[in-house]
Amino acid sequence: MRGVFVTGTDTGIGKTLVSAWLARSWRASYWKPIQSGTVEGTDPAWVGRMAPGIEIIPPAVELQAPLSPHEAARRERRRIDLSTLVLPERERLVVEGAGGAMVPINDTALMVDLMVRFGLPAVVVARSGLGTINHTLMTLEVLRRRRVPLLGVVLNGQRNPANREAIEHFGGVPVLAEIQPLPAVTPAMLESLPAPSFACP
């Protein structure tokens, strides 16, 4: 199987947009194994609207509160068991994490533990502006310590050559793409984005 695990340096960073872009470009299936915040809508439903025609695999865990998985599960008197989360068998697969690499899943496991379990190369989504160097380098450091394969970084926002150069230099990874601010996110707008310059690994 070929695929990636899309993580981010923060919540609301654009992971779902990047996941939809990659899935559409590669004609890959999309899966978000843990979805919290279902009371506000779900990322799989959004990806399905933005990238029609790709397979949307239902989440393994759905939680109502828009909180970190461990807290949302606690409020429902549930506990997420990593052993129940198994990668679907697909030719190409884009997996989207919940929050960043250090987000708790339960009382002992973090999102990075799920990344290790799946073994897919990571795409790190980060902002392009102020603060991104610190947040991105810390995320890369965590992933390296846990030996998660790194594909590279995607930057969201206005181009910032200095920040891109710093991330590539100090992070030792390529910036795979820079997605400029979009006037509106629609299927047509997503379709108009240039295809990734890198293949699905």
C-alpha triplet 29, 123, 119: angle, nearest 5°:
70
pLDDT value of position 1: 75
Q: Is 12 annotated in some ligand binding site?
A: yes
Q: Is 14 annotated in some ligand binding site?
A: yes
Phi, then psi, of 52 in degrees rounded to 5: -60, 140
pLDDT value of position 89: 94
pLDDT value of position 183: 81
Q: Is 97 annotated in some ligand binding site?
A: yes
pLDDT value of position 50: 93
Active site residue 32: yes
Superfamily of domain 2-192 in the CATH hierarchy: P-loop containing nucleotide triphosphate hydrolases (3.40.50.300)
pLDDT value of position 66: 93
Q: Is 96 annotated in some ligand binding site?
A: yes
pLDDT value of position 40: 83
Is residue 85 within 8 Å of 117, Cβ to Cβ? yes
pLDDT value of position 65: 94
CA–CA distances in Å: residue 120 to residues 39, 130, 141, 150, 187: 29, 29, 17, 9, 27
Is residue 105 within 8 Å of 113, Cβ to Cβ? yes
pLDDT value of position 34: 97
Sign of CA dihedral 127, 131, 136, 139: negative
pLDDT value of position 107: 95
pLDDT value of position 164: 97
Kindly give the parts of the chain with pLDDT less than 70: none
Residue whose tokens read 């790194």? 150
Which among 32, 70, 92, 164 is annotated as catalytic?
32
